[in-house]
Amino acid sequence: MATRASRVFIFLILSLTVALAGCAKRPATTQAAAPAPTGSGQTMAPPAPVAPPSATTTPPPPPPSAARPPSTGPAPAAQTPGARPSPKEFVAMPGVLKDVFFAFDKYDIRPEDAKTLDANAGWFKSNPNHLILIEGHCDERGTNEYNLALGERRAKSAMNYLVSQGVQASRITIISYGEERPQCSEKNDSCWEKNRRAHFLVKPR
Amino acid sequence: MLRLVIAGVTTLALLAPMLWLPAAPRAQQGVEIRIDVEGRGQRKLNVAVPPFTVTTGPESAALGTALAETTGADLTFSGLFTVVTPSVTLPANDPPSLRKTLEDFAGAGAHAAVHGLVAVRGDRLEGEMRVYDLTSGPDPRQIATKTFTVASTQPRRLAHKIADEVVLQFSGELGVADTKLAYVTGRPGAKEIVVSDYDGFAPASVTRNRSINLSPVWSPDARSLAYTSYKNGYPDLFRIFPFERRPEQTLAAFSGINSSPGWRPDGAQLALTLSKDGNPEIYVLAIATGSLRRLTRHAGIDTEPTWSPTGRQLAFISNRAGSPHVFVMDAEGANVRQLTFGGYQTQPRWSPKGDVIAYTARHGNHDVWAVGSDGSNARRLTAGPGDNQGAAWSPDGRHLVFQSNRLGGWQIFSMLADGSEQKPVTRGSGEHTSPSWSPRLP
């Protein structure tokens, strides 16, 4: 049936080329414009996404339980190994704990940033009653998911350096924000540089 | 009750072989590339879509006009039709008058006409589609009819279903108008997931947690979305059911990132990125049991898994060669091969037809590219202005949606799979990013 329909289509197209070649532009016709989305106030749009699909007579919907019976369960894979401290409980220490910065698409610690990390490590070691949160950030260039991974690597690089300097790994939690929390919103090099960073926060144990 | 009647096809079909077009070009794997056939420069069929006739119910004229406009816009969007919109409707039940009106449409350049007849019955909207061939000489013939029923609160779905059926009649594959988009709306630090019709109408928030919500991806049954959210503080992976009163599921909440969901086409497995074992690696989560299988083992970044339609391979991003590039591996993680080289490529999305992988390449700005799944024929689909990225396929593989900042802020755009007919889907205030196109709705 599909083949026949396709042939009808082809026939009709060829009708255009063969029989109606000179009739392409008729003044009596106008091309429809795509409607502009207008939000929730319009009459044609349902207020909420869709009604249950059972109201259609098109090809029958797959039975909800056929493909994946276990998916009706509330949480198949909520494996959280241990409680993670809430990032909201951590505070920055401006002037004391400084950010380190990274080149575009890189997560290696540069020599000048190693000095910053040395200073941060010194504070962490002399304040052993504080837990540490390292945020990894990216600039807005690059793409979302990759930047999430890149920010993770930046935080991890900073963490590994701190651990190599004698900070206990068990005190450190890392979180990547990818490009989602820029500290500078202009679109230029100096701003992007500021956003490619690892940021340090602490909270008392 | 489904009914499909095609009358008058036989004569046309007999004529058709003489006029048969050259066979479609084939990819090296032997997969037919429809998109090359139906792309730029394709001659379109002129179809007249007069106002639908509403036989019972209030607001009949306005409803009939609005439905015809929606069906017409869908047919225009398909890339297969040029829509002409007569102001007069068809006198469906008055044969002599019907013939005269159809002849007028043909005289105005239409090759086919689509008419909808609609009845409002309680909470249901019953519609009948009739398709007429106007090229068959002095006696236009009805070549297809089909009936649909939708909820009366969902009139646009009736218009979309009629358009999808018309596309089926003329192209051999059902259209994609009766589908949804999911995308991210908001600003840095405050992003929510929104679901709208495929054409951007009726956007509605599906998350309201005032956190950062990212990367919505439709499940293959079009009933749920996997997405990453910081609502519990860290980037965890959740599954939400936007059309049902059904509790959200936590898919993965390990230490580190839980991100980049990619549904296997059977819906039973989800590929994802976890960094719980040290650095971002790709795993496969069995939805039913919660068991995890690790696919990549590499010191670099591995992320953004996307399944082939057979479920036997995945494309993904790795920076193991220095910068991020597109790689392909089999479902066990073996037979890794690099598909794109040089520069910076991310966001691979395997076409539902299997032959092409769309991705984002960075050359200063970002643009959407496509490459054969065998690595051949890498080509650029967008060429600015601004950044164009984050493409997602329509279920028929004939269209892509993507995010572009060519007009200033981020908006969702659509295009045909060859890069032609780029146009905005979302408009107005707010930043809209990370689109995912649902499968056809059940």
Can you tell me the mean pLDDT for A169-179?
Answer: 97
Distances (CA, A) of B281 to A109, B275, B298: 22, 6, 7
pLDDT at A4: 46
Token pair 């019709």 is found at B197
Which range, of B4-18, B46-60, B97-111, B353-367, averages the lowest pLDDT?
A: B4-18
CATH number of the CATH domain containing A179 = 3.30.1330.60
Residue B58: is its pLDDT beyond 90?
no
In a domain, A102, yes or no: yes
Kindly list the residues from chain B whose CB atom is less than 8 angstroms away from the CB atom of residue A41: none
Domain B180-437 CATH (choose: 2.60.40.10, 2.120.10.30, 2.60.40.1220, 2.60.40.420): 2.120.10.30
In a domain, A53, yes or no: no
In a domain, A135, yes or no: yes
In a domain, A142, yes or no: yes
Instruction: Supply the CATH classification number for the domain B9-171.
Output: 3.40.50.10070
Tell me the shortest Cα–Cα distance from A42 to chain B, in angstroms: 8
Number of Cβ pairs < 8 A linking chain A and chain B: 338
pLDDT at B85: 85
Which residue from A2, A56, A88 is facing B172, i.e. has the nearest CB?
Answer: A2
Closest residue in chain B to residue A4, using alpha carbons only: B13
Q: Does A74 touch chain B (CB under 8 A)?
A: yes
In a domain, A64, yes or no: no
- The dihedrals phi and psi of B67, each to the nearest 5 degrees, come to -65, -40
In a domain, A44, yes or no: no
Distances (CA, A) of B340 to B321, B324, B346, B379: 11, 9, 10, 11
Token pair 């000095």 is found at A115
CB contacts under 8 A, A 130-169 vs B, are: 141-146, 148-150, 152-153, 156
Q: Which amino acid is at B57?
A: G
- The dihedrals phi and psi of B71, each to the nearest 5 degrees, come to -60, -40
Provide ipTM, 2 decimals.
Answer: 0.87
In a domain, A5, yes or no: no
In a domain, A205, yes or no: no
Which range, of B18-27, B289-298, B373-382, averages the lowest pLDDT?
A: B18-27
Given an 8 Å threshold on Cβ–Cβ distance, is B288 in contact with A84?
no
Q: Which of B337, B341, B289 is nearest to B313 (CA)?
A: B337
Token pair 């050359």 is found at B363
Can you tell me the mean pLDDT for A52-67?
Answer: 34
Query: How many domains, in total, are found in chain A?
Result: 1
Given an 8 Å threshold on Cβ–Cβ distance, is B149 in contact with A181?
no
Domain that residue A133 falls in:
87-194
Q: What is B181-195 written as a DSSP string?
A: EEEEEEETTEEEEEE
Question: For B249-271, what is each residue's pLDDT tens digit?
Answer: 999 999 999 999 999 999 999 99
Q: What is A69-120 written as a DSSP string?
A: GGGGSS-TT----SPPPPGGG-EE-TTTS--EE--TT--PPPHHHHHHHHHH
